[in-house]
Amino acid sequence: MYKYIVSVFWFVFVWFNAICQPIASFDKKQIDFGTVTEGTLCKYSFKFKNTGNKPLIIYDVKVTCGCTAPRWVSPIAPGDTSSIYVEFNTSFKQGYVAKGINLIVNANDPEVNLVVLANIVPDSTFKVITDSTNFKPLKIITKKMVYQIVIPLENLSKKGLKGDVEKAENLVKYILRNENSNLLGSIWYSSTSDYVEINTFSLEYKNLLASKLSKNLSKKRKLKRLQKKARKANFL
């Protein structure tokens, strides 16, 4: 009899927890901005409602590209509405682009996938010039020169870097982790599948960053040590 009562209580407990769950019900999980000019800052709010009967907690929001910046609030009470606000920076991108935003939540389905789409066309006002450092052609945006440091993934692979361009970019971020707040300016990334690209509006700042990267990425043994340190610091 005792075992029967325990079994019944256990069944009720499991059943109750199964039906008492938060549910993130989105109006839409994909937004297509259509054709936009390169350099446009696209903004959108993915609206949703917690249609469950427990508070919805968003543990983390992961993006597939640093060009996509999400904002959110958590937790969301049952019956309440909220949104994931997204800014998509189209600078240094062309063609049909799709970027993912992945929400980690406390629901039965712990991952929610959102998608941002855009067909990015070149801005005819951009002018291409050549930098004396021979890194890559540069662009002028609103009369400001953008300096790029371009690191081929192939070069890093030959020196012992194991991984894709995302890991390579994270390794560069680890090397420059104390430089991004430099008073000379700020940096941003526009990497492709073959290159890690670091951008800045300051020539002086670009030279400082290039010097630091050259010292750290020039030798295979040093690169391997850096990978170990970056992994310990959760950059890789």
The yes-or-no verdict on residue 140 having pLDDT over 70 is: no
Out of 29-33, 118-122, 144-148, 150-154, least confident range: 144-148
The yes-or-no verdict on residue 12 having pLDDT over 60 is: no
Task: Tell me what pLDDT residue 182 has.
Answer: 54
Higher-pLDDT residue of 15 and 84 is 84
What is the distance between the alpha carbons of residues 166 and 92, in angstroms, rounded to a whole number?
Answer: 17
The DSSP call for residue 167 is H
What is the distance between the alpha carbons of residues 76 and 27, in angstroms, rounded to a whole number?
Answer: 16
Q: Are strands 30-37 and 111-121 parallel, antiparallel or unpaired?
A: parallel
What is the distance between the alpha carbons of residues 72 and 86, in angstroms, rounded to a whole number?
Answer: 9
**Do 231 and 223 form a contact (C-beta atoms < 8 A)?**
no
Return the percentage of the chain with pLDDT > 90, whole number. Answer: 22
Statement: the pTM of the whole predicted model exceeds 0.75: no
The yes-or-no verdict on residue 143 having pLDDT over 50 is: no
What is the distance between the alpha carbons of residues 223 and 207, in angstroms, rounded to a whole number?
Answer: 20
Domains of the chain: 22-121 (2.60.40.10), 127-232 (no CATH)
Judged on CB neighbours under 10 Å (0-12, 13-18, 19+), 210 is middle
The yes-or-no verdict on residue 220 having pLDDT over 90 is: no
What is the distance between the alpha carbons of residues 72 and 103, in angstroms, rounded to a whole number?
Answer: 10
The yes-or-no verdict on residue 117 having pLDDT over 60 is: yes
pLDDT digits (tens, 9 = 90+) for 35-84: 998 778 899 999 999 998 899 999 988 888 777 778 888 899 999 999 99
The DSSP call for residue 20 is S
The yes-or-no verdict on residue 211 having pLDDT over 90 is: no
The pLDDT of 126-132, averaged and rounded, is 44
For residue 115, give both structure tokens: 């998608």
What is the distance between the alpha carbons of residues 209 and 191, in angstroms, rounded to a whole number?
Answer: 16
pLDDT digits (tens, 9 = 90+) for 166-205: 888 888 888 887 665 555 567 777 777 777 888 777 777 7
Task: Tell me what pLDDT residue 47 has.
Answer: 94
* Cα of 228 vs its chain's centroid, Å: 22
What are the φ/ψ torsions at residue 31 (nearest 5 degrees)? -130, 130
Rg (CA), the chain: 23
For 14, the enclosing helix (H) or strand (E) is: helix 2-19
The DSSP call for residue 125 is T
